[in-house]
Amino acid sequence: MITLTRTDAGPVVSIDGKTALLSGTDWDTLFNSPNLVSHLKELAASSDEFSLDGTSILAPIGTQEVWAAGVTYYRSRDARMEESKASGGQDFYAKVYSAERPELFMKASAFRVVGPGAAVRIRQDSKWNVPEPELTLAINSRGEIIGYTIGNDMSSRDIEGENPLYLPQAKVYDGSCAIGPCILIRETDISRETTIDLSIERDGETVFSGHTDLHQLKRTPEELVSYLYRETAFPAGALLMTGTGIIPGTDFSLKSGDRITICIDSIGVLRNVVA
Ligand code: DO4
Ligand code: MG
């Protein structure tokens, strides 16, 4: 297993128990290196052992854009049809779930992304907000999936539900995107058995928990990437959230102080607090 973590000291690679600081190389260059697995093995072998103690873990992103896929799980299709019933928008969600072309939208520029432990935000002009825990693909400039991380696609359900054309406002605002804690470098494809767990704590109590696995993801990572890169260049690469399969019931909304924990087995845990 190889992980790449972005820290305030520089990129850090962990390979088979050895952790090394890759000084003298920047994140975007590493992200787009040809033969990344062997390159990281060589760099780790020629570097001293490094301890992450005392370093700050940052979001694993340089200048990549973050994009997101939508309605890729049956649960998301269902929940969105419900929330958009009054506006008459529900058919769009049913159609995109089974259409050949996936829903893809721009989620965040790098400066709008927060890392592990940082605060995510809910919009002041929204009353119904949820986190969306999503397997997130790291893709280089050549369209190759180089690894996997965890993303939280914070969403304002009342704004999107009022009119699907309000999607960018429901999805894109300061503090709406958390990514981390590291990139699990792809040596083999991620297993469909991989599980995703979300829990939300309020005043020390768990107020929501949910679970899904990648068997429920309707589209393959390659299919999503091929649509994303079809007519669009990503000179620094991109991160692509693959959609949520966990959505709390209609009676749940996030509050300030809530602690959001997303766990994807084999990648790790992404924890954030709501500002
Ligand atoms: O269709 C709106 C957004 C869907 C989404 O973000 C998701 O399914 O994860
Ligand atoms: Mg989403």
Say which residue, 21 or 86, is predicted with more confidence: 21
Atom of ligand 1 nearest to the CA of 103: 1
Which ligand approaches the C-alpha of residue 245 most closely?
Answer: 1
Q: Residue 205: is its pLDDT beyond 90? A: yes
Same domain for 113 and 228: yes
**Residue closest to 132 by CA, chosen among 54, 224, 20, 248:** 248
Tell me the pLDDT tens digit for each residue of 95-113. Answer: 999 999 999 999 999 999 9
As given in the structure block, the two tokens for residue 121 are 């935000």
- CA dist 197 and 205 (Å) reads 17
**Residue closest to 31 by CA, chosen among 1, 70, 59:** 59
Q: Is the CB of 132 under 6 A from ligand 1?
A: yes
Q: Is the CB of 80 under 6 A from ligand 1?
A: yes
Q: Is the CB of 153 under 6 A from ligand 1?
A: yes
Which ligand approaches the C-alpha of residue 76 most closely?
Answer: 1
Range of the domain at 191: 65-274
Same domain for 219 and 115: yes
Lowest mean pLDDT of 59-73, 77-91, 194-208, name the range. 77-91
Same domain for 268 and 204: yes
* Percent of the chain clearing pLDDT 70 (strictly above): 100
Q: Residue 24: is its pLDDT beyond 90? A: no
Where is the domain boundary, 19, 34, 58?
Answer: 58
- CA dist 134 and 256 (Å) reads 21
Atom of ligand 1 nearest to the CA of 68: 6
- CA dist 70 and 104 (Å) reads 6
Helix (H, G, I), strand (E, B) or coil at 109: coil
Same domain for 186 and 72: yes
Same domain for 18 and 89: no
**What CATH number did the domain enclosing 123 receive?**
3.90.850.10
Q: Residue 125: is its pLDDT beyond 90? A: yes
Which pLDDT belongs to residue 89? 83
Residue 90 — pLDDT band, cuts 50, 70, 90?
A: confident
The total of structural domains in the chain comes to: 2
Answer for the pair 269, 117: CB distance below 8 angstroms, yes or no: no
Cis peptide preceding 235, ω within 30 of 0: no
Q: Which residue among 92, 155, 163, 246 has the greatest number of ligand 1 atoms within 8 angstroms of its CB, and so is best to mutate?
A: 155
Instruction: Beginning with the edge strand found earlier in the chain, give each strand of the sheet holding 195-202 in spatial order.
Output: 119-120, 268-274, 259-264, 195-202, 205-213
Atom of ligand 1 nearest to the CA of 160: 2
Tell me the pLDDT tens digit for each residue of 223-240. Answer: 999 999 999 999 999 999
Q: Which residue among 78, 244, 246, 262 has the greatest number of ligand 1 atoms within 8 angstroms of its CB, and so is best to mutate?
A: 244
Q: Is the CB of 245 under 6 A from ligand 1?
A: no
* Percent of the chain clearing pLDDT 90 (strictly above): 93
Same domain for 197 and 167: yes
- CA dist 198 and 261 (Å) reads 6
Q: Is the CB of 167 under 6 A from ligand 1?
A: yes
**0.95 exceeded by the pTM?**
yes
Same domain for 138 and 81: yes
Same domain for 105 and 24: no
Q: Which residue among 76, 91, 240 has the greatest number of ligand 1 atoms within 8 angstroms of its CB, and so is best to mutate?
A: 76
- The percent of the chain in helix, strand and coil, each rounded to the nearest 5, is 25, 35, 40
